[in-house]
Structure 1
Amino acid sequence: MNATENNIKLWSPCEDIFNSICRAKQNYAIVILNCRISLNIDHRRILYLWAHAKVRVTVDGGLDRWLTWVQAHEYQVSDVYAPDLITGDMDSLSLGLLQYFENKDSKIVKTPEQNETDFTKSLKELQKHCDDEGIEIDSIYVLADTSGRLDQILANINTLFKAAAFMENKNIYQIASTSLTWLLAPGNHKITIPQTLRDQNAWCSLIPIGEPCIVSSKGLKWNLDETKLSFGGLVSTSNTYNGEPFVTVTTDGFLVWSMGIEPLL
């Protein structure tokens, strides 16, 4: 999924999601938030990600949404693995449903705290679960479509920033209907870009949410050369690729990378 090479962080989530590789040997978790699951990704890929995850997490009403999605694709609930961890304030889940999955050995953790989002709380509980069970993960896939709500989009990005502190060295990818989004920490990065995205000039963005950043890049149509990105100044949205198989990014601050994946779907 990623590696470090000569102090360069390597990223290749598109290959992991869209190629037929053996994910069972990889150390990742999957988290399903309480939001609409409107993914255009082949449902078999999502089920494969779920089946081969080391930890499966549903967050509050995300359990109902996941079960509805499974049944909509003509599977029975018994056909898929139960969540390892169900977390949230549980105000939208029936006691009967929780009891059913508790009997399936799902761990139920209620998190009523309202000063954090369910997304943030779920990642903290995931970290605790891994620590308690001695499970090693390096990446987390989060089904996080936001139905167009700007406040939820920003809250989810804020969680990426918070998680950088308590889930250091974990790579958290937000999967929406037509995009992938994650956080680049200060340093050097190399992102694999599939041929299809390059051929079809799919969009990508470097967004300096949180603080201004000095950024250099290669592999983009409009590259940056020690350029200051900031709100109120330059923001690199609606960029695309120049045909090279990788994009390299050097940044002195935390930077949101988002990329369109529609041509891969």
Structure 2
Amino acid sequence: MRKLNHWIYALFFLYLFCSYPFLAWGYEEIEVKSGGTLAGKVTLKGMPPPARIFHLITSPNMGYCGRISDGKGNRLLEEFSVAEDGGFSDVVILIVGVEKGKPFNYTPDIHVENCQINPFVEVVRNNHPINLVNHDPVIHDIQSYTLKDQYTFAMFNKPLVPDAKVVKQVKFRPGHYLFRVQCGVHAFMQSWGIAAGNPYFAVTAKDGTFSISDIPPGEYDVIAFHPLMEVLLQRLNLLPAEKKITSFEFEAEKVMIPLHDLQTGYRFDTALLPSIIPRPTILPQ
């Protein structure tokens, strides 16, 4: 298993898009005979970073959004979900290089509920729709961006009124592959996505496990992606009807958190305002 250093992170994805143009532009659906399976587990070695802290007093709808909080006037953004044995969830496993295979009938859903955007990590398709659903009784300003290197470009911006169901189109700029969604008025509402050009992908479960089936026999690249970690890469040589078991291990000490997102303490001591601190009724953090 190879690890991709931060400085070649973008070059790696450029290689993928150049080597496999169909990742962005096309995929042929066929009947898969003697398809194989790739299964395994993703783990995180070491102590994950703490949740990021957002003060509810700086955002609207403090009472409603504060139903999930730490009870001290703060909302926490959990970006690393790790089981006791190190099983790492919310990691995307992508098999790159499959030109033909099983049907690719996939439209991602982004759900906004309790001032959270779920799922935290999603797979999206270029030039295909994505469903946005707001389950909250408050308005959320849903913004999406496409990212490359150190640059961020707006993809769409859609205010979601209560109970809204909206369909938007995912359109990446040439050479882009990362997708980010956030709420413009609630900074703690964030999620990530990555582009896929075929249906051979999975997002790890709470215990870090995954399984991808009906893979045409052949040689492919497999990547493990988490938005705040170095990408991991493996080479897959799959025989007809073979079930291959593999594993990926990330290292917590190599977490890539932007400098502006590092937090060492509180900017406000909201504990001094007990009369307005919302109490968590949905989920204490």
TM range, normalised to the smaller chain? Answer: under 0.3
* Higher Rg: 2
TM normalised by structure 2 equals 0.23
Higher relative contact order (CA 8 A, sep 6+): 2
Structure with the bigger percentage of helix: 1
TM normalised by structure 1 equals 0.24
Structure with the bigger percentage of strand: 2
